[in-house]
Structure 1
Amino acid sequence: MRKLIFILFIATSFTFIRCGSNENAVFQEDDMLTETSWLRKDMDAEIIYGGGDNYLRINFKKSNNYEIVQLKGERITGLKEEGTYTLTDNKDLVITTTKNQQKLSLRYVLVNDRTLNRVNEKGEVLSNAYEAYIKQ
């Protein structure tokens, strides 16, 4: 019985070693935003509709895609935009979408692991609460 267990152990070990040495394997590492959602107040909707429960939620998807949906409370009321994003090592985020047949890019910075703040054209971090996305 011990010989049979030993043989099974060796065969299993050999299989794992053999499978792990595949030189052609391509591993794609997801960034820290993939499959996360971030929320902020939708000030435009607050001005138009009021109510205090209008939000924008940005959902970061695989393959560096994102979408921003509009929420009224917990209910999705529409798709505001979608596009691609790039996250650099120093936690700078650039989201890019196409509006009116022109590319539009906005820059954000990860202030900490739970807050995304918008960066204006001058490179200044906007720290207004309504400009910041909070991780959900």
Structure 2
Amino acid sequence: MIARVWAPDAASVGLVIGAADAPAQELQRGDDGWWSGPDLPPGTDYGYVVDGEGPWPDPRSARQVAGVHGLSRVFDASRFAWTDASWSGMDVLGKVFYEPPRGCVHPAGHARRRRGPVAVAAVHRCRCRRVDARGAVPRPARLGL
């Protein structure tokens, strides 16, 4: 994966490889606001230093093993040992999806006492509106954000 990040207003962008306290390598600025660097092999941890601040994770990263605030890790889907070959998924053409607002349902799967009516109403709306699939909105790394 070639290290690339879009930062059109930045004066400088560096790349940190391996650890957050590693020295940053300067990236090359393109005319379109994209900054480019070296080709990183799968499994490499990296982050970006923008105008001397950071390192920040890659906003386009496919893998964040250290959480949303940690370094990103290069992920190559073609080298991953997938174990779900028998799963066919669902035909999404013509389906209706619903994502309940964060906080309506407790992580254990039941409605919170103080928000119970909200969660029950959300499920009821799904049934009334012929919703085919419900999605889960990801929880933030820290509550309150």
What TM-score range do you get, normalising by the shorter chain? under 0.3
Question: Is the radius of gyration larger for structure 1 or structure 2?
Answer: 1
**What is the TM-score normalised by the length of structure 1?**
0.23
Give the number of the structure whose residues are more often strand, by fraction: 1
**What is the TM-score normalised by the length of structure 2?**
0.22
Give the number of the structure whose residues are more often helix, by fraction: 1
